[in-house]
Structure 1
Amino acid sequence: MVARTTTSLWDRFAAFDPGLVRLASALGAVLGTAATLAVLTALRVPETALVVGGFTAMTTSLAVGDLHPRNRFVTLGLGVPLSLASLAAGAALTPYPTAAKLVFLMVIHLAVQARRFGPRGLGLGIFGFMAFLLSQFTQARVDRLPLFGASVLVAFGAVTIVWCWVGPVTASRALMRLRRTFDVRLHDVLRDTASMIATGQDIDARSRSLQDRLDRLHASVLLIEDFLDERAADEDTEALPAHLGRVEVAAHRLAVLAVRAMRTPAAGNDPAERTARQLLARRIRALRQPTVGTPCAAERWVEGYEGGPANRPTRSALVLDCFPPVDELAEALRVLGPRERPAGRGTPPGKPAPRTFGAPPRGGTDTESLKREATRQAFQVTVASALAIAGGQLLSPHLWYWAVAAAWVVFIKNESTGEVLLQSLRRLAGTGLGVVFGYGLVALVGGDGPVLLALLLLCMFGMFYTPSHAYWAVTFFITGTLGMLLALMDTFSTHVLLLRVQETALGVSCGILAAVLVLPTTVRRAGDAELVGFLQVLDRLLRTVAAGSTGTEIPTSRVRAAHDLDRALESFRRACLPLTHPLNPQRRRRHRVRHLLELLETGAYHARSLAAAAERLPADHVPECATRLAAAAARAHETVTHLIRVTGRRSASASRTARPTVVRALSRLSEEQRVSRDRPSPEYRLLLHVERLHVALTALVQALDPLASDPDRTTAVSSERTDIPLPPGPIRAAAAAVSCRALADRCERA
């Protein structure tokens, strides 16, 4: 009983922190800093050297964000000479304040330019920036450079030993942790689905909760795929993304059909209806067992599973529709197996997907565009830092670097003016709350050194363990850590804390000013760029599915293409975060962007299902169906092409139209018309998802261009029994020439 409770609590913890990535980072920062301080204290170094060593140890966890253990050590190894060089440059220029500030601006510019190389470039930029900032904070001199350099080396060595010796994480162990997260989040989805079916009450609230569970499950799949991207594919992991995607699609389809069945009025007093729901709920609860068990437990579960048409109830067609997805999910879980056994074993090796195909990084559609975005932001951050240096010098000649740090941080992983504004407000709010928190702790503790050190390490743990999307909380713990550090150095005072708030306000103001005046990028422009990227990746996926259905050699796997599409959707969601934030006063724009996200999530679900169904398409499928599928994919391709054109020239007057009604993607999917088939064939499933993807795309056309007036541009989508407006030209001609319902029936008869 105790072991089961402990396992359950640990699973809850793993679900909150996918792969225990934040926990590992926080423990590495705390233990690495503690080990560094212990070694330097034993060597009886001065207090300033202690600050250098502890700050460097903390910076390593801030800069190294690779998922794969090997890549962490590579980034750490590159950070050692870069930190030493930056620290030496800052120490050499300390006697010359003007030259030091000018070189600091150059370091900032180069650090931001390094972001064009991806996460590792971002980490190396942090190493260079923090080392130069440290030299200014400690007023390092050339004569003390050997001591400070030794402290830096001790910090890197201590962090390396902590990573290697205290809780070593291998690639297989890290992957097992990520699998645990997937298992627990799938458990949550199945539990909520079964509970909703069994009770049949509060469907709206339960569907919203279920949508959040599905989003977390999807995030865990993306995290596993990102981890596998950082390592070479082998026999044990090559098929894992496809198996995980199949399980996720089956679970999502089950949730959609369950919500549809529960929202449809049924005979509540009908005993057969209640029996069917209870039986379905029991089947779903049974699916929760193999995901967290051992191989033997999984095999016993498969043998005892009572699925199949012979054991289904005979009433309630909508409830009956939920039984085939349960069987599909059971089969997908059997193929996936428990997390102790890699899913790739027993799977025929396939051709590995090339790494050249994929969604582009945020801010560009190719390498050249990414370089341009990094250069643009480098100029913005440099100008903001220059303003912060000038203003910070007026506020405090000795603590001006606080303003520079605030101006530099608000641009990290942000591109548009709205993102910088939102990050600045979070930074300022966290600093203000952290000042109050730090002052209260220091007042309670007094001058007790060991207690202050323990509180410092505790605040540092909170800084790294807090999720990055709660940036105000991260800043809160950063300010608390600074308060404890000032108390340990006997420089703590109310004036210093108030100066911290003033310098932060100055820094974020300079950042906002630079974002507005220097090569500005609006939220709409950034969102449109990401939307175009999403549509381009969707077009590649459609062409990949069409090519695979006709037997043509495809450039990449469909699972990989679906992963790239999900990443593009995440980029669009982050780019539009300032508009969808609850504090956004423009309610009309907020609803419109949320409506766009709802349509894109619906389309992404059908694209994901399309990729999963295409991967399982038999080699001897009907040639005629392949031709029709290619025609349907071409029809969707025409709509995507039109959407890309519409996105680049949207009218600003569209914001004055009526505010759309926003629902979650799960609710929209559950409103799609029921397919009266027990178990559709793979060919029919492909055609169905292409058709419904096209419905979502045409609805997206109307959402992006709601004022366009063309009474003739309609097409009858028979599966939905609704008229969806389409743009004029070849799309309408293709829509009139192809009827997916008729094609699907012909494929079924074939």
Structure 2
Amino acid sequence: MWDRFAAFDPGLVRLTSAMRAVLGTAATLAVLTALRAPETVLVVGGFTVMTTSLAVSDLHPRNQLITLGLGVPLSLASLAAGAALTPYPSAAKLVFLVVIYLAVQARRFGPRGLGLGIFGFMAFLLSQFTQARADQLPQFGASVLVAFGAVTTVWYCVGPITASRALRRLRHTFDVRLHDVLRDTASMIATGQDIDTRSRSLQDRLGRLHASVLLIEDFLDERAVDEDTAVLLPRLSRVEVAAHRLAVLAVRAMRTPAARNDLSEGTARQRLAQRIRALRHQPTVGTTCAAERCAEGYEGGPANRPTGSALVLDCFPAVDELAEALRVLGPRDRPAGRRTPPRKHASPTFGALPRRDTDTESLKRGATRQAFQVTAASALAMAGGHLLSPHLWYWAVAAAWVVFIKNESTGEVLLQSLRRLAGTVLGVVFGYGLAALVGGDGPVLLILLLLCMFGMFYTPSHAYWAVTFFITGTLGMLLALMDTFSTHVLLLRVQETALGVSCGILAAVLVLPTTVRRASDEELVGFLQVLDRLLRTVAAGSTGTEIKTSWVRAAHDLDQALKSFRKACLPLTHPLNPQCRRRHRARHLLELLEAGAYHARSLAATAERLPAGHVPECAARLTAAADRAHETLIHLIQVTGHRSENASQTARPTVIRALSRLSEEQRVSRNWPSPEHRLLLHINRLDAALTALVRALDPLASDPDRTTVVPSERADIPLPHGPVQAAVSCAVLADRCERARAE
């Protein structure tokens, strides 16, 4: 059961945040009640605790404390400004707009800027909610300090989370999700039925495994990496790539039906499934017994493997590769320094590639544009909300503010607005039912309020309608505790929310609008630029430690860019999108990019294991292949920037998911290729994916001037430089590389 929690909540981040919010609120209310504080002061304290859990999104405990410390003076200043302006409603609204503009502008500083903006906005909103006066500032300020003190005590005294413990939890999530991938792979091989359904499920499992790797990368980026953790990310990437490759080969093998009377094929599949099941114990336990169980299932080389089809036999070396990657990675609870000789990791500046989320110019432009949009939406919400209710107009402003958080295009704002409105309507019904059922029982209402607060923070952010549902439920319990609960207030809540989201949509359409296509094209160009840097690094022909590290970093930057593109395309790929043709085209583009990102990760993972002085001939071929892929990439960037509307009139493409597309690629060789040939293979297949992407973006555009050749056992590869004088097969190339290394 604990493993299921770890798989659902990576690193137990949401569970920790929810428990901190509930315990912090309970501690704050207990202290203020003991001090005989009035009801309004209790609301200020509880609201401040909730704001801290919303604003602090850092993964590293030290960074969480820094953001929390910066939030204290900012909250006090914003609350004081709102209280001082309460007697002057017009001035308070104008200053509130200034606070909103500055809070949105702070998003240019990344997650911490977003959190500080939330602190400033929520504190001013709190002053309007409680109608704070200047003579109440000492009590309210003390309540805010008590809230921050309770939060700090709960966070760092009651079960403190250290950096090593947080990293160990993230590793636990990785192990559990890898366990799920191996279980589904073994089940698919053993049964050999419902391959399409099982492959789709396996694709989702692989996506969750990849998300855990990205989360570990984000955590490592927030802390100083020592010698023991410097190699963690490349090793995790190696395990992930090996698991993904095994899944691709397994789906490819299972799509070929076995003869009913072919006993050798059935035996081979059963032994393969048995080997994968034995491998499941290695990542999750990491003990000597588990390693012995894996060793018992080891086939001992090609000579001891069963007879069967070539596609099934291809999976056995993939299992061996995954077992070796897990052995190098080791268990998550291994002490520092054990079984891991100290290695000097690469300098963070040498060969480092700029991260997409640290592009300051892009953040500044986006924050400035969105600041004008949010300010305009808030101004409209203030005017309309005041007409609906002179005392509760701030609900409309809060709705207009929220729908722009982490959203860029008009489509994203529209989708977030619909989620907000749906969650509010369902939450009003839920809150009304609970309040009517409980009546005026204060302790029960308080318990229900804390449970709704727990659900608010434990619900995944992508299920925003559920988050809003629990927020509205929390508000309903709060109104019941304050004896201001009524049907009129709940209906007014729905009206103010509908007004706020409508103002947000209107501002997104009229004020510096960004269409979904423009936003997705910008993210696609960013993805292609990161990929271009990766290919230029490969074309440099160097295999030093620093360059290898930059390959791994480039691959993960590519994953971040793909994540941004997926989010930008969400309004198009959403099932509620009525334009089926555009939805299928967006999903088709996404599956091509996912296939390309898989080959990029495989490039980086293979390069990390490449020997220090590999064969010059192989390096020349890698450079030539990277140059060819670079040419396709340049052509693709040009097509992306100038593609016409004719593509939308073409036939609707077939969406088969990335795992199925990868499994349909041509089989290369019966023999396991060398690392050099593996690099060449992935570069050429990446080039093929880019060429397919050109056709998908604009079917009427001409193809690149050359034809991409995916190397196979019998395919001839032209020499990289000058006229073609001879042709060398990949098998001969591998033999030459092996002989040169031996010499």
Question: TM-score, normalization: structure 2?
Answer: 0.95
Matched AA of 2:205: R
Tell whether the 8 Å contact from 1:442 to 1:487 is kept in structure 2 after alignment. Answer: yes
- CA distance in 1 between counterparts of 2:125 and 2:473 reads 19
**Residue matched to 1:706:** 699
Deviation at residue 358 of structure 1 after TM alignment: 4.4
Q: What is the Cα deviation at residue 511 of structure 1? A: 0.3
Q: Answer yes or no: is 1:457 the counterpart of 2:450.
A: yes
Once the two structures are superposed, the pairs formed by residues 357-506 of structure 1 within 5 Å of their partners are 357-358=352-353, 360-361=355-356, 366-506=359-499
* 1:549 positional shift: 4.0
Correspondence 1:328 to 2:315: no
Q: 1:348 Cα shift?
A: 4.3
Partner of 1:728: none
Question: How far does residue 651 in structure 1 lie from its aligned partner after superposition?
Answer: 0.5
Structure 2 vs 1, CA of residues 355 and 138 (structure 1 numbering), >3 Å: closer, same or farther? Answer: farther
Counterpart of 2:345 (choices 328, 333, 351) is 351
Q: What per-residue deviation string (whole Å, max 9, x for no partner) do you get for residues 251-289 of structure 1?
A: 000000000000013223211011000100000001011
**Which deviates the most, 574-583 or 348-357?**
348-357
Closer, same or farther in 2 for the Cα pair 1:588/1:167, shift >3 Å?
same
Q: 1:11 aligns with which of 3, 8, 18?
A: 3
Q: 1:447 to 1:579 in 2, by over 3 A?
A: same
Change (3 A) 1:231 1:553: closer
Name the residue aligned to 2:741: none
Give the residue type in structure 1 aligned to 2:155: W
Whole-Å separation in 1 of the counterparts to 2:483 and 2:173: 44
CA distance in 1, matches of 2:501, 2:70: 30
Residue equivalent to 1:565: 558
- Give distance in 2, aligned partners of 1:483 and 1:722: 70
Q: Which residue of 2 aligns with 1:749?
A: 736
Contact preservation (8 Å) 1:298, 1:338: no
Conservation of the 8 A alpha-carbon contact between 1:613 and 1:686: yes
Q: Map of 1:61-76 to 2, 5 A cutoff? A: 61-76=53-68
Alignment match, 2:126: 134
CA shift for structure 1 position 644: 1.2
Cα distance, 1:99 vs. partner? 0.3
> Which of 659, 663, 672 in structure 2 is aligned with 1:670?
663
Alignment of 1:265-344 (within 5 A): 265-301=257-293, 303-307=295-299, 308-341=301-334
Q: Secondary structure of the equivalent of 2:670? A: coil
2:589: which partner in 1? Answer: 596
Q: What's the secondary structure of 1:676's corresponding residue?
A: coil
Q: 1:642 is matched with which residue: 635, 642, 645?
A: 635
1:708-730 CA-partner distances (Å, limit 9, x unpaired): 256x946252548999xxxxxxx
TM-aligned CA deviation for residue 306 of structure 1: 2.1
Instruction: Structure 1: state its 5+ residue gaps.
Output: 1-8, 724-732
2:513 counterpart (520, 525, 533): 520
The answer as to whether partners of 2:104 and 2:370 remain within 8 angstroms in 1 is: yes
Q: Does 1:57 align with 2:44?
A: no
- What is the alpha-carbon distance in structure 2 between the residues aligned to residue 736 and residue 668 of structure 1? 34
**Alpha-carbon separation, structure 2, partners of 1:653 and 1:266:** 44
Kept in 1: contact 2:287–2:331 (CA 8 A): yes
Deviations 1:677-729 (A, max 9, x none): 3221011100000010000010001111111256x946252548999xxxxxx
Question: Could you tell me which residue of structure 2 aligns to residue 682 of structure 1?
Answer: 675
Report which stretch shifted further, 353-362 or 44-53. 353-362
Mapping of residues 32-43 of structure 1, within 5 Å = 32-43=24-35
In structure 2, what is the equivalent of residue 189 of structure 1? 181
Q: In structure 2, what is the Cα distance between the partners aligned to 1:566 and 1:148?
A: 45
8 Å CA contact retained: 1:628, 1:743: no
Contact 2:516 2:568 in 1 (8 A): yes
Q: Tell me the amino acid that sits aligned with residue 591 of structure 2.
A: E
**The residue matched to 1:717 in structure 2 has which SS?**
coil
The corresponding residue for 2:524 is 531
Query: Once the 2 structures are TM-superposed, how far is the Cα of residue 747 of structure 1 from its aligned partner?
Result: 4.2
Aligned partner letter, 1:11: D
1:554 offset after TM fit, Å?
3.3
Tell me by how many angstroms 1:300 deviates. 2.8
Which of 75, 84, 92 aligns to 2:84? It is: 92
Matched, 1:214 2:206: yes
* CA positional deviation for 1:560: 1.2
Q: Compute the displacement of 1:338 (Å).
A: 1.0
* Equivalent-residue separation in structure 2 for 1:407 and 1:422 (angstroms): 13
Q: 2:219 is matched with which residue?
A: 227
* 2:161 aligned partner: 169
TM-score in terms of structure 1 length: 0.94
CA distance in 2, matches of 1:344, 1:561: 27
Match of 1:153 in 2: 145
Cross-structure match for 2:236: 244
- Provide, for residues 582-607 of structure 1, a one-character-per-residue CA deviation record: whole Å limited to 9, x for no partner: 00011101000100000000000000
Contact 2:410 2:515 in 1 (8 A): yes
1:541 Cα offset (Å): 1.2
What is the match of residue 117 of structure 2?
125
- Flag the 1:263–1:566 CA change in 2: closer, same or farther, 3 A: same
3-state DSSP of counterpart to 2:707 = strand
Contact 2:424 2:472 in 1 (8 A): yes
Contact conserved, 2:251 with 2:663, CA < 8 A, in 1?
yes
Q: Do the aligned partners of 1:614 and 1:686 also contact (CA within 8 Å) in 2?
A: yes
For 2:286 and 2:714, the matched residues in 1 are separated by 48
Query: CA 1:52/1:716 → structure 2, altered by over 3 Å: closer, same or farther?
Result: closer
> 1:741: Cα distance to partner?
7.6
Shift of 1:635: 0.9
For the residues of structure 1 that align with 2:184 and 2:581, how far apart are their CA atoms?
32
Q: Report matched runs for 1:575-654 at 5 Å.
A: 575-654=568-647
* Offset at residue 167 of structure 1 (A): 1.8
CA distance in 1, matches of 2:515, 2:714: 36
Task: Work out the number of aligned pairs and report it.
Answer: 730
CA distance in 2, matches of 1:658, 1:74: 53
Secondary structure of the equivalent of 1:554? helix
More deviation, 298-307/212-221: 298-307
Name structure 2 gaps, 5 residues minimum.
738-743
1:641 CA drift (Å): 1.3
| Contact 1:294-1:338 at 8 Å conserved across structures | yes
